Amino acid sequence: MNNYISKRLTWLGLVMCCAISTNALGQNPLGNVELSIQHVQGSVYMIMRPGGGGNIGASIGEDGVLLVDSLFEPMAESLVRAVRSVSDGPIRFLINTHVHPDHVGGNEPLRDQGVLIFAHDNTRSRFLLERNRYPRQGGSFAPQPSAGARPEITFDSEVGFHVNGEEVRAFLAPPAHTDGDVFVYFPESDVLHLGDVFRTTSYPIMDLYNGGSLRGTIAALDLAIDMAGPNTKVIPGHGLEIVDRNSMIEFRDMILDVRAQVLSMLREGMHLDEVMAANITAGYDAKWGQEAGWTAIDFVPIVYYELGGSGRLEDR
Ligand SMILES: [Zn+2]
């Protein structure tokens, strides 16, 4: 068994043992998770769960509350409690950065409380599919979200929210994580929420089932880096750290380095298993290989195929 396949089997074992499910009493363990809230800068806060996946941005001030993403449905009560710990104002708006369940799961309970939900057209279109496919667990399927979870207002390029003393801008990014990725910029607070295009704990996920791409990931990060100044705070989609422009540059440069190495191996005619055996991410794994469900063995093949590599491991 080569190293790549043995790592893959290890990963599958991890996924199987750690799959989220209801327990014997029918309770969803996600409902027991307590979210925390942290001030970022200006009017913006970050609401996070232990481990930091699906980080929520929140503009909180005299006009009420605008949320960016809604985590998993069972966490909705805890999400509202986190907001209430700093504000009694109405939760008015919710922007979904993309379609994944850890970013839209709280939509329906929030909508039931009168929150208006916004997303890109491409994101809403996937709420209408009978089932959705996601990159983790080798392309797992998830059932259709309920009708009540669908964003009510969609846009094709950009929308502005004039709240809490600034024009919050939500706009379509190049197709990176999905083809409905929305970045949200809070200009006076000087905070960027990049959804899952940027993460501090894992390699980038290019969700090929939902329109993501390597090329778009690099373009989207370039755009975010261009927008950010020295004092800009950045909320990553995954990871507990609030970071800055330099962290985005480091992440982008890692991707460019991996891309360049894979390209050079392709030009030498190397097959995917030879590329994987070369372990080109060894110097990066300690930083970006922290999420068991998405490591170099998931990331590097996507780079390989998007750069024109062909064939599958079993073809040899
Ligand atoms: Zn995602």
Q: Is residue 177 a contact partner of residue 206, using CB atoms and an 8 Å limit?
A: yes
Rounded CA separation 174/206 (Å): 12
Q: How far is the CA of 176 from the centre of ligand 1 (A)?
A: 10
Q: How far is the CA of 198 from the centre of ligand 1 (A)?
A: 10
Tokens representing residue 215 in the block: 């090329």
State the alpha helices, DSSP H only, in 3-157: 3-18, 76-84, 101-104, 107-112, 121-127, 136-139
| Residue 120 φ/ψ, nearest 5 degrees | -70, 155
User: What proportions of the chain, in percent to the nearest 5, are helix, strand and coil?
Assistant: 40, 25, 40
Average pLDDT of span 21-34: 65
Q: How far is the CA of 98 from the centre of ligand 1 (A)?
A: 7
Q: Is the pLDDT of residue 5 over 60?
A: no
Segment 113-154, tens digit of pLDDT: 999 999 999 999 999 998 888 887 778 888 899 999 999 999
DSSP labels for 70-109? ---GGGHHHHHHHHHTT--S-EEEEE-SSS-HHHHTTHHH
Rounded CA separation 145/127 (Å): 6
Confidence at residue 26, expressed as pLDDT on a 0 to 100 scale:
53
All residues at 6 or more sequence positions from 203 whose CB lies less than 8 Å from its CB, including other chains: 255, 281, 284, 288, 289, 294, 295, 296, 298, 299
Q: How far is the CA of 294 from the centre of ligand 1 (A)?
A: 12
* Percent of the chain clearing pLDDT 90 (strictly above): 81
Q: How far is the CA of 315 from the centre of ligand 1 (A)?
A: 31
Segment 65-110, tens digit of pLDDT: 999 999 999 999 999 999 999 999 999 999 999 999 999 999 999 9
Q: How far is the CA of 177 from the centre of ligand 1 (A)?
A: 7
pTM: 0.90
Q: How far is the CA of 137 from the centre of ligand 1 (A)?
A: 14
Q: How far is the CA of 196 from the centre of ligand 1 (A)?
A: 5
Torsion sign over Cα 18, 20, 21, 25:
positive
Confidence at residue 16, expressed as pLDDT on a 0 to 100 scale:
30
* Percent of the chain clearing pLDDT 70 (strictly above): 89
Q: Is the pLDDT of residue 11 over 60?
A: no
Segment 270-301, tens digit of pLDDT: 999 999 999 999 999 999 998 888 999 999 99
- Average pLDDT of the chain is 90
Helix orientation angle between 245-267 and 296-306, rounded to the nearest 10 degrees? 60
Q: What is the third-level CATH fold of 3-315?
A: Metallo-beta-lactamase; Chain A (3.60.15)
Which residue did the predictor score with more confidence, 312 or 292? 292
Q: Is the pLDDT of residue 61 over 90?
A: yes
All residues at 6 or more sequence positions from 289 whose CB lies less than 8 Å from its CB, including other chains: 202, 203, 281, 295, 296
> So where are the chain's domains?
3-315
Q: How far is the CA of 270 from the centre of ligand 1 (A)?
A: 31
| Residue 38 φ/ψ, nearest 5 degrees | -135, 135
Confidence at residue 25, expressed as pLDDT on a 0 to 100 scale:
52
Q: How far is the CA of 95 from the centre of ligand 1 (A)?
A: 14
Average pLDDT of span 206-218: 97
Q: How far is the CA of 114 from the centre of ligand 1 (A)?
A: 25
Q: How far is the CA of 251 from the centre of ligand 1 (A)?
A: 17
| Residue 270 φ/ψ, nearest 5 degrees | -75, 145
Segment 227-264, tens digit of pLDDT: 999 999 999 999 999 999 999 999 999 999 999 999 99
Q: Is residue 154 a contact partner of residue 119, using CB atoms and an 8 Å limit?
A: yes
Confidence at residue 66, expressed as pLDDT on a 0 to 100 scale:
98
